[in-house]
Amino acid sequence: MKKRSLVSIDDLSTDEIIKILDMAKKFEKEPTQNLLNGKVVSTLFFEPSTRTRLSFESAVSRLGGKIIGFTDASSSSVTKGETLNDTIRTVNSYCDIIVMRHPIEGSARYASEVADVPVINAGDGANQHPTQTLLDLYSIRKTQGTLDNLSVAMVGDLKYGRTVHSLMMAMARWNTTFHFISPEELGMPPEYKLYLDNLDLTYYEHTDLNEVSGKADIIYMTRVQKERFSDPMEYEKVKNAYVLRRSMLGSCRENMRILHPLPRVNEIHYDVDSDPRAYYFEQALNGVYTRQGILCFLLGASN
C-alpha cells in the first residue's frame, strides 16, 4: 500500500473526508475493535497537549494497537542537540505510523518527507491541525445533520489559531458562509482569505460578536494563543477580547452549537456550559472516534 500522510486537510479529497467521518460514526457505535492489533503508533509531542495526545492514545488502545513516544521534548534526545531529521529517521524504524506535534510551521511536512511510515500532523505551529478539523467536521455534521450551506462564525485568535485555518479550508468545500470575528491584530491571515477569494466564497470580517451570533449555525470560539506572541504586552492587550456569556445567546438559533477546540482560558464563561447549545466537551469526545477513523484509514484497516 502506498504511504499516505495527513499533514494538511487538503491532503484528503472530499470523498476521503466523508469516508473517515463515516468510519468515525461506526466507531461511535462500537468503539472497541481489534483492527490495529500488532501495530505500533509513535506519538511525538514537542508541544503540550491534553486532548490530541490522549484521544489518539485512547483510539489506539481501543483498536488493540500499542503506543510509544514522548509527551515532552525535554525527555528526548532533542535536548542533547539531536535534529528532527535524525529523530524521525530513528523513530520511523520503531513504529507503523507517527503522530507528531511541533511548534515549527512546516515541520510535519518535513517529517513526512523523511519518514517511510505515514506521519499525522497533530499541530505544527500556527499552521494546520487537520485531525482537529476532522473531529470538528464530525461534530458539525452530527449536530447540524449536514455540512452544506452553513453559516460559521470563527471567533478570537484567527491569526495564530491553527484549528481555524484547517477548518476554514475544509468547510470551504461545502459552500460555507464565513464570519471572522477578531481584534484587528488577530485577523484571518491574507493567504487564507485569498484561498476563499479563489473559490468565490463569501466571508465577512467583524470585531463585534453580537453582530453575527444570531445568524450562525456554528460559533467556533478560540483561545488567544499566548505561546505564539513574542511581546507579552501585545498578548495582554487582546487576551480578553471576547468572552462568550450565556446572556449573549438570546438571539442565537436553537440548533446553533458552540464549538471550541479547547483548552479554554477565559473566552467561554462557565455559565455557558449548561446551555444546550454548548457542545465543546462532546466535540472533544468525538476526537476519539474520529482519530480511530484516521488511523484505520491511513493504515488500510476498515471497520
Give contact residues for ligand CP (rule: CB under 6 A).
Answer: 49-52, 123, 132, 261-263
Q: Is 25 a catalytic residue?
A: no
Q: How far apart are CA 177 and CA 295, in angstroms?
A: 31
Residue 122 C-beta: closest distance to ligand CP, Å = 7
Q: Does 129 qualify as catalytic in the annotation? A: yes
Give CA–CA dist 267/8, Å, rounded.
27
Q: Using the minimum distance from each CB to ligand CP, give the nearer residue, 52 or 286.
A: 52
Please say which residue, 35 or 57, places its beta carbon nearer to ligand CP: 57
Is 222 an active-site residue? no
Please tell me which residue in 39, 51, 142, 179 is annotated as part of the active site.
51
Which of 35, 26, 9 minimizes the C-alpha distance to 131?
A: 9
The residue with cell 458562509 is 177
Catalytic residue among 39, 53, 62, 101: 101
Active-site annotation holds for 52: yes
Rounded least distance, CB 287 to ligand CP, Å: 8
- Cα angle for residues 71, 228, 92 (degrees, 5° grid): 35
Please report how close the Cβ of residue 55 comes to ligand CP at its closest, in angstroms: 8
Which grid cell is 70?
514522548
Residue 47 or residue 301: which is nearer to ligand CP going by CB?
Answer: 47
Nearest to 58 by CA among 287, 299, 281, 277: 287
* 300 conformational bin, left if phi > 0, alpha if psi -120 to 50, beta if neither: left
Q: How many CB atoms lie within 10 A of CB 176?
A: 23
Rounded to 5 degrees, what are φ and ψ at 263? -75, 150
Task: Clarify whether 80 is annotated catalytic.
Answer: yes
Residue placing its CB nearer to ligand CP in the complex, 118 or 123? 123
Query: Shortest distance, CB of residue 132 to ligand CP, whole angstroms?
Result: 5
Q: HSE, CB side, 13 Å, CA atoms: give it for residue 274.
A: 3
- Considering the complex, what minimum distance in angstroms separates the CB of residue 263 from ligand CP? 6
CB closer to ligand CP, 49 vs 76: 49
- Catalytic residue chosen out of the listed positions 62, 129, 141, 257: 129
Catalytic center residues: 51-52, 80, 101, 129
